[in-house]
Amino acid sequence: MSSHRIATMSASMAVIGLNVALGVAPPAVAEPCTGAVANAMPPQPIATPAPQERPLPWPFNQLPLGHKPLNANDNAPLPSLGKLPLAILGALSPNAAKVDKQAAVVPPRPPNVTEPQPAAPAPVAVPAPGVGASPGTSIVGWVTGLDGAANTLQKFGISGTDLGIMWDNGDPANHQVLMAFGDTYGYCGVRGQQWRYNTLLRTQDRVLARGINVANGSISDRYAGSPERQSGFAKQVIPSIRWAPAEKGVIPTAGISVGRTQYMNFMSIKNWDNPGQWTTNFSAIAVSTDNGQNWGVYPGTIRTPAPDALAQVPYAAGNENFQQGSFLRSGDGYVYSFGTPSGRHGAAYLARVPQGFVPDLTKYEYWNGSWVPNNPAAATPVIPGPVGEMSAQYNTYLKQFLMMYGKDSGDIVVRTAPAPEGPWSPEQMIVSAAETPGGVYAPYLHPWSTGKELYFNLSLWSAYNVMLMKTVLP
């Protein structure tokens, strides 16, 4: 294990002088479905039922106000949104996720590595909580995969996945953190490798120093460890709405709760391009009113990145800068939405919306030195590129807003600011790509870790799984 000192910020900003203890990652296979899981089979067959589809009575994007389409999610409660139209997905039943056999052979997006990465060496010995743990950044353990505290292969049929976006579910009676993952592999010996666009886990674990534990899942219990298609198999929570002629992924990028209603921003992938670069069909917001058990998509939230991206949705200039992002609640009645273009090379932009109108794009305001209503083209960068996957929250120890993101180089950095719109401090590195073999990306802050000790999820490409990390602020 090596360690080095990160330079402090100027006196005018919050100081994050970090002693970073950077070690090698836990042992990892070179890519999904190799090594120990290459021919693994589930203990019992996982059925793949035919989708139970019923045609909508009119075009998907022309639903009358207040109408609920007739489909398998008819009984899901809807939020009270006045005249704002809501479309619930009609493609799949709640308990039957269909694996796209053609898409199953498409690998998930890589981090910015141009050559195959070697398997990582032996794991770092992580000190017991409070015993000799030096300040800085260290690996706590796996969140997903064969060796994690959650045991996700046996519990949920998840052998490989990435991201792990985290947010508080806002339910005081059943307080949980929801975690959304990207392209997900299951038992690799099964045809199609049990590939899913995305999956969701829930946890109540507060003792993060030992890792993240997740209870068993359930087909019907909205507070179980995962929404399942059948016992022991996490279902795909956001299927395709099937508007894009070519779609290679439906990837979550941010999540937030307003009351007990869950909102998830996601992007539809048109193509994986070069390392750190991909093209989107659109981004949109999905909603769940049953703690993430079932999800619907608001057609009015679809943002296309170009005039010819989607036939059903007109292009609005500036929406190309909100294809990925991060939600942030600041306590002033607004939900803030940071956005970036697709990939890891663009700048970060900022919008805000009254928290009761998250799915209504006409209520959004965009920052360019002042707040401009309903005009995404007005937004100017609040953080210069390159900015990759990001997360943001208010830090009670620094008394500043804190943002963490990955760069196209593979480094993981943080910035702080007195307000969501800035000014944002210089970058401070917390994980160096040069000292972390295997390719790390997508840092997502734990919403219950807002003080001196920060916990966050971080994806490791060589293992194609998610690690829990810890950073101690000075």
pLDDT tens-digit readout, 35-59: 767 777 887 666 543 333 222 222 2
State which amino acid sits at residue 122.
A
Pairing of strands 233-234, 249-258: unpaired
Judge contact between 367 and 443, C-beta under 8 A: no
Strand segments, DSSP code E, in 1-136 are 2-5, 19-22
CA atoms of 70 and 82, how far apart (whole Å): 20
Can you give the pLDDT at residue 47? 53
pLDDT at residue 320 tops 50 = yes
> What confidence tier does 436 reach under pLDDT thresholds 50, 70, 90?
confident
Beta bridge partners of 297: 87, 286
Per the document, the length of the chain is: 474
Task: Map residue 155 onto helix, strand or coil.
Answer: helix
Judge contact between 173 and 244, C-beta under 8 A: no
Can you give the pLDDT at residue 188? 87
Can you give the pLDDT at residue 45? 63
CA distances from 44 to 190, 219, 233, 234 (A): 11, 16, 10, 14
Judge contact between 28 and 120, C-beta under 8 A: yes
Burial 162-174 (b: 16+ CB within 10 A, else e): bbbbbbbbbeeee
| 173 token code pair | 């009676």
CA atoms of 285 and 297, how far apart (whole Å): 6
Q: Provide DSSP, 369-401.
A: SSEEET-GGG---SBPSP--SEEEEEETTTTEE
Of 142, 113, 210, 220, give the one whose Cα is nearest residue 434.
Answer: 113
| 472 token code pair | 């101690």
Degrees (nearest 5) of the Cα angle 147, 118, 160?
Answer: 35
CA atoms of 133 and 283, how far apart (whole Å): 41
Average pLDDT, the chain: 78
CA atoms of 443 and 137, how far apart (whole Å): 13
| 349 token code pair | 């932009």
CA atoms of 234 and 364, how far apart (whole Å): 34
CA atoms of 61 and 86, how far apart (whole Å): 10
Across residues 215-223, what is the average pLDDT? 97
284: Cβ–Cβ under 8 A, 6 or more apart, which residues? 241, 265, 266, 268, 297, 298, 299, 301, 302, 303
Judge contact between 428 and 372, C-beta under 8 A: no
Can you give the pLDDT at residue 178? 98
> What confidence tier does 33 reach under pLDDT thresholds 50, 70, 90?
confident
Q: Which residue has the tokens 């017991």?
A: 128
> Percentage of the chain with pLDDT > 90?
66
363: Cβ–Cβ under 8 A, 6 or more apart, which residues? 353, 354, 357, 374
CA atoms of 202 and 209, how far apart (whole Å): 18
Across residues 53-70, what is the average pLDDT? 26
Of 261, 265, 267, give the one whose Cα is nearest residue 292.
Answer: 261
| Domains of the chain, each with CATH number or no CATH | 2-20+32-472 (2.115.10.20)
CA atoms of 352 and 363, how far apart (whole Å): 9
Across residues 59-80, what is the average pLDDT? 26
> What confidence tier does 205 reach under pLDDT thresholds 50, 70, 90?
very high
Across residues 439-450, what is the average pLDDT? 96
Task: Map residue 193 onto helix, strand or coil.
Answer: helix
Enter the DSSP assignment of 435: G
pLDDT at residue 403 tops 50 = yes
Can you give the pLDDT at residue 189? 87
> What confidence tier does 464 reach under pLDDT thresholds 50, 70, 90?
very high
Across residues 313-317, what is the average pLDDT? 97
| 342 token code pair | 């697709």
CA atoms of 53 and 33, how far apart (whole Å): 31
Burial 301-327 (b: 16+ CB within 10 A, else e): bbbbbeeebbeebebbebbbbbbbbbb
Judge contact between 179 and 169, C-beta under 8 A: no
Beta bridge partners of 261: 258
Across residues 335-359, what is the average pLDDT? 97
Question: Per residue in 89-108, pLDDT tens?
Answer: 222 122 222 333 222 222 33
Across residues 364-373, what is the average pLDDT? 98
CA atoms of 185 and 177, how far apart (whole Å): 22
CA atoms of 180 and 442, how far apart (whole Å): 12
